[in-house]
Chains A and B, each alone.
Chain A
Amino acid sequence: MTLYAWALGLCLAAALVALLPTRAPAVLRPTGAPAAGGAVAERVRAATPTVGAITVVGGAVTAAAGALAAVAGVRAMLGHGWSAWLPDLLPLGGVRLALDPLGGLFTAVTGGVTVCAAIHGIGSGPARATRVVVPLFVAALLLVPAADGVGAFLFGWELMAMTSLLLVLAEHRERPSVRKAALWYAVMTHLGLVTILCGLCYLAAGAVGDGFDQLRVAELSPAARNVIFLTTLAGFAAKAGIVPLHVWLPRAYPAAPGHVSPLMSGAMVNMGVYGVVRVGLDLLRGGPVWWWWIVLALGALSALYGVLHAAMATDLKRLLGYSSTENMGLVLIGVGAAGFFAADGAGPLAALALTAALLHVVNHAAFKTLLFQAAGSVQRATGTRDLDALGGLRTRMPYTTALFAIGALCASALPPGNGFVSEWLLLQSLIHALPASGVAGAVTMPLAVGAIALTAGLAVATFVKAFGVGFLARPRGPGAERAAESPRTAIYGMALAAAACLFLALNPTLVLPALTEAVTEVIPAGRPVTGEVTLRLTTITGSISPILIALALAGAMVAVPALVGAVATRRVRRAARLWDCGAGPVSARMEYTATSFAEPLQRVFVDALQPESAIDVTAVKESAYLVRRVRFRARVPDRVERRLYEPVLAAAVRLGTGARRLADGSVHRYLSYGFYALTGVLIVLAVIS
């Protein structure tokens, strides 16, 4: 409790620190001509802190807040939860706060991400507005999982939406594309808020108060529960970037400053999952099977759609954004399966599926924080996020490259990465569902496994592309050519996230007991996973030991070169030209780019992706047969956006232009509108009563 309060307080303090006036840059004056009052001005100037100092202090305070929040969250998961009611803080119900294991988990994740992002942000010299808003954003992120009443929850949610919107807008002066991204984000996030607001208020209307405890015991008709679940699901899905509500995500991440996108993708999207679990499994205490089919189907769709677009993307942050959609999809598959099993009466399986989903939330937060930080560093160093124009960063940014490699390994769900562990758990829970669940399960589960499997394969290709094309080989653009290693704080931030990834990858058995507390809170079915070195499933036979696999791999990696070294006779490695077929030299233009790397996959999935390409041939003036220039353009548009959003937007625009005719500037007409409206209402009321 005190820890949590301190964390919130530190966030506010960090925001206040950033508001302090800063020292103006020293003005060069011709010597020998001291201006009147110069001495006083000089003393004032010396007393005000520099921008650098404020950034350092603000970042450090935010990081401390994150650390405290992480500790508070972990303590809550270990059973030291608390609750508080501050009746005077907000009108109506007041503010109810509580930290139970489930909320504690999300608080801890947010705290961890905050520490990394805040440390990273110190060196990147963020603008003043960003410095002020980031701590507030963190405070909002901490508020949502700790809310114990509808009022506090919605307040935190709206604060989170507003502050993140400001952060997305932060660099609108430098890049005009940011404004459009922010517009998309603003609309999507607030539509989501509206649906959540409606759903939760409907729920609260059926209960005696707005506290979660009161909502849990509310007596509602099945129809009302359906409406509540579906409306809140829509809102939470929009926050989690679930297809078809994901459109803001690949836009907003590239637009946000370097150290903000880790916060958004590592901490904020999780809140969507939190909402679904809290409302669906906790407040509404599960529901009919078809709810969870919808969740599962949305998850599978998002996983596939997200990873396909990530595999095609050439913009590094866009790629990572789509990958967030993919991972949130995997999490929702787990949540959906958990709800499905719980509704089916298979408690232990449900607990396993939910454990897998929550572990994946933690893992995703860890590696995505790392990857987004690295992407931010790359963008700062090279001025571009286009993988086609990157390359060759291995020699120029060695630390960033190595750290990105760790993140990419984890994100591609290969051992010994952390993503592998949670996907393994998820697959186990689905595979063993078959005998238990009837025909419905027999149709759903194989498809879900197929979707996860296809996602896993494509994720490998995606991250080989991101790492291999972006960081290895030689630079393909001037930005990559001039790149230099990122500032030290950025490396520390990334190293911290990488350490978390490795810890989660090797010792999931240390994390899982705490995690099961959060699971048993909503699905009381005992511990699904046990073991210290080896991860053992309790209700079904299945075990794996990430740390032993890693050790075996490491042993083999040491033994094999030693063996070769023992039998080899020539020890010296000769440096030589690249084999260029004798014609050379090999230039960077001959390298495979991200586009060419993804081309075979694009061909395979041509029906799903529907890529567009255009060839313009410009002929010389004299003859149409002599070509002067050929331009080739190819892009993979977002189909959902094209088919679903553009018609709606076009209709809205048409409606708007049509409605403009109603408002032609004539005051008489406006007065008559008022008159007719009033009369209309009166007539209607008269008829009704």
Chain B
Amino acid sequence: MAEPPLERAKSPGVPELAGSVQIRHVDAGSCNGCEVEIASVFGPVYDAERYGARLVASPRHADALLVTGPVTRNMEMALRRTYEAVPEPRRVIALGDCARDCGVFAGAYGVAGAVGDVVPVDVEVPGCPPPPEAIIEALRGMTGR
């Protein structure tokens, strides 16, 4: 069972968000490895919610996009529109090696590019898939808790 956080986050977080980050997850073409890790991040063991992060259903309710996988051609427009739908201030987290630089899918015919080629990325989390600790660290960097 997760315990309440012992120490405060190292970074002050995004000041405008002030300890509350709602996240809309976008699977832009991932192999679903990253999704498994996200699921465990919000589960009882890592419990990202204690740091003020929460998954929401609509990008209108979100402050940050959590994008996984290389951006496939089918998802390119969808990702761009999702980004447009998020009200300011908004942040984008590119989760996993694929999201950062297409990873093992680099150069594949269906891939349009990395997440950074489609929407501006604020935070990158490396790893294939990234360990939950790394994801938590990135989220705490935003909430500042």
A and B touch in the complex (CB under 8 A): yes
Q: Are A579 and B59 in contact, with the CB atoms below 8 A?
A: yes
A574 interface residue (CB < 8 Å to B)? yes
Tell me the dominant secondary structure on chain A's binding face. Answer: loop
Instruction: Compute how far the CA of A574 lies from the CA of B90 in the bound complex, rounded to whole angstroms.
Output: 14
How far in angstroms is the closest Cβ of chain B from A585?
Answer: 10
Interface size class of A (residues with CB under 8 A): 10 to 19
- Collect the chain A residues with CB atoms within 8 Å of residue B79's CB: 582
* Contact in complex: B88, A582 (CB < 8 Å): no
The answer on a CB contact under 8 Å between A583 and B78 is yes
Q: Please tell me if the beta carbons of A580 and B88 are within 8 angstroms of each other in the complex.
A: no
Q: Is A649 an interface residue (CB 8 A)?
A: no
- Among B58, B77, B88, contact of A579 (Cβ-Cβ < 8 Å): B58
Task: Please name all residues of chain A whose beta carbon is closer than 8 Å to the beta carbon of B82 when the two chains form the complex.
Answer: 582
Does residue B81 face the partner (Cβ distance < 8 Å to A)? yes
Closest to B59 in A: A579
Residue of A nearest to B75 (CB): A582
Within A539-575, which residues are at the interface with B (CB < 8 Å)?
570, 574
Closest-by-CB residue of B relative to A579 is B85
| A-B contacts, 7 listed (Cβ < 8 Å) | A570-B88, A577-B85, A579-B59, A581-B78, A582-B77, A582-B81, A583-B78
Tell me the complex Cα distance, A574–B88, Å.
9
Shortest Cβ-Cβ A-B pairs, 4 listed: A582-B78, A582-B81, A582-B82, A579-B85
Name the residue on A nearest B58 (C-beta).
Answer: A579
Q: Is the CB of A577 within 8 A of B87?
A: no
B133 contacts the other chain (Cβ, under 8 Å)?
no
Q: Mark A27-61, 1 if CB is under 8 A from B, else 0.
A: 00000000000000000000000000000000000
CB-based contact A576/B88 at 8 Å: no
**B60 in the interface, Cβ–Cβ < 8 Å?**
yes
What 0/1 pattern do residues 71 to 105 of B give for CB contact below 8 A with A?
A: 00001011101101101100000000000000000
In the bound complex, CA of A582 to CA of B78 (Å): 4
Bound: A439/B87 CA distance, A: 62
Contacts between the two chains (Cβ within 8 Å), count? 23
Contacts beyond the supplied A582-B82, A583-B78: 5 A-B pairs with Cβ under 8 Å: A570-B88, A574-B87, A579-B85, A582-B79, A582-B81
Q: Which of B77, B81, B84 has the most CB of A within 10 A?
A: B81
Most buried by B among A581, A582, A583: A582
- Tell me the nearest residue of chain A to B88, going by C-beta: A570
State the CA gap A459–B96 with chains docked (Å).
Answer: 53
How distant is the Cα of A574 from the Cα of B87 in the complex, in angstroms?
8
Q: Which of B41-91 contact A (CB under 8 A)?
A: 58-60, 75, 77-79, 81-82, 84-85, 87-88
Tell me the minimal C-beta distance from B82 to chain A in angstroms.
Answer: 5
Interface positions of B (Cβ within 8 A of A): 58-60, 75, 77-79, 81-82, 84-85, 87-88
| CB interface residues, A 558-613, toward B, < 8 Å | 570, 574, 576-577, 579-584
In the assembled complex, the CB of A634 is this many whole angstroms from the nearest CB of chain B, namely 31
B16 to chain A, nearest CB (A): 8
Contact pick for B84, options A570, A577, A581, A583, CB 8 Å: A577
Q: Is the pair A579, B60 in contact by a Cβ cutoff of 8 Å?
A: yes
Q: A581 contacts which chain B residues (CB < 8 A)? A: 78
Please determine whether B81 and A584 come into contact, CB atoms closer than 8 angstroms.
yes
Which of B75, B77, B78, B84 is A576 in contact with, Cβ under 8 Å? B84
Closest residue to B85 on the A side, CB-wise? A579
In the bound complex, CA of A581 to CA of B75 (Å): 11
Tell me how far the C-beta of A574 lies from the nearest C-beta in chain B, rounded to whole angstroms.
Answer: 7
Chain B residues lying within 8 Å of A574, measured Cβ to Cβ, are 87-88
B88 partner residues in chain A, CB cutoff 8 A = 570, 574
Q: How far is the CB of A254 from chain B (nearest CB, A)?
A: 40
Cβ of B92 to closest chain A Cβ, rounded Å: 14
Q: Residues of A contacting B60 with CB < 8 Å?
A: 579
In the assembled complex, the Cα of A54 lies from the Cα of B75 at a distance in Å of 65
Report the minimal beta-carbon distance from A619 to chain B, rounded to whole angstroms. 33
Taking the closest CB of chain B, its distance from the CB of A117, in whole angstroms, is 45
B56 to A: closest C-beta gap in Å:
12
Q: How far is the CA of A580 from the CA of B78 in the complex (A)?
A: 9
Q: Which residues of chain B come closer than 8 Å to A582, judged between CB atoms?
A: 75, 77-79, 81-82, 85
Taken together as a complex, chains A and B put the C-alpha atoms of A583 and B75 apart, in Å, by 9
Q: A580 touching B87 by the CB < 8 A rule?
A: no
B14 to chain A, nearest CB (A): 14
Residues of B within 8 A of A570 (CB): 88
A440 CA to B60 CA, complexed, in Å: 56
CB distance from B144 to the nearest CB of A (A): 18
CA distance A570 to B82 in the complex (A): 21
Alpha-carbon gap, A577 to B78, bound state (A): 12
Which residues of chain B have C-beta atoms less than 8 A from A579's C-beta? 58-60, 85
Q: Which residue of B lies closest to A584 (CB)?
A: B81
A580 to chain B, nearest CB (A): 7
How far is it, in angstroms, between the C-alpha of A577 and the C-alpha of B84 when the chains are bound?
Answer: 8
A676 shortest CB reach to chain B, Å: 84
Once the chains are docked, how many angstroms separate the CA of A576 from the CA of B82? Answer: 11
CB neighbours of A580 from chain B (8 A): 81
Identity of the chain A residue whose Cβ is nearest the Cβ of B16 in the assembled complex: A569
A581 CA / B58 CA spacing, docked (Å): 9
Q: How far is the CA of A110 from the CA of B81 in the complex (A)?
A: 56
Alpha-carbon separation in the docked complex, A570 to B88 (Å): 9
Bound together, the chains give a CA A570 to CA B60 distance in angstroms of 16
Q: How far is the CB of A345 from chain B (nearest CB, A)?
A: 61
**CA–CA, A466 and B33, complex, Å:** 48
Point out the residues of chain A lying under 8 angstroms from B58, CB to CB.
579
CB contacts (< 8 Å) of B85 on chain A: these are 576-577, 579, 582
Alpha-carbon distance between A576 and B90 when the two chains are bound, in angstroms: 15
A344 to chain B minimum Cβ distance, whole angstroms, is: 57
Chain B contacts for A584, CB-based, 8 A: 81
CA gap between A582 and B25 in the complex, in Å: 13
State the Cβ distance, B122 to closest chain A Cβ, in Å. Answer: 19
Docked Cα-Cα span, A581 to B85, in Å, equals 10
Instruction: Find chain B residues with CB under 8 A from A576 CB.
Output: 84-85
Quick one: closest A residue to B26, CB to CB? A582
Q: CB-nearest residue of chain A relative to B77?
A: A582
Q: Distance (Å) between the CB of B17 and the closest chain A CB?
A: 12
Q: Write the nearest CB–CB distance from B34 to chain A, whole angstroms.
A: 19
Q: Which residues of the partner chain A approach B84 to less than 8 Å between Cβ atoms?
A: 576-577
Separation of A576 and B77 alpha carbons in the complex (Å): 15
Rounded to whole Å, the gap between the CB of A577 and the closest CB of chain B is 7
| Residue among A576, A580, A584 having the largest count of chain B Cβ atoms under 10 Å | A576
Residues of chain A contacted by B78 (CB below 8 angstroms):
581-583
Closest chain B CB from A334 CB (angstroms): 46
**Taking CB as reference atom, which chain B residue is nearest A585?**
B81
Q: How far is the CB of B90 from chain A (nearest CB, A)?
A: 11
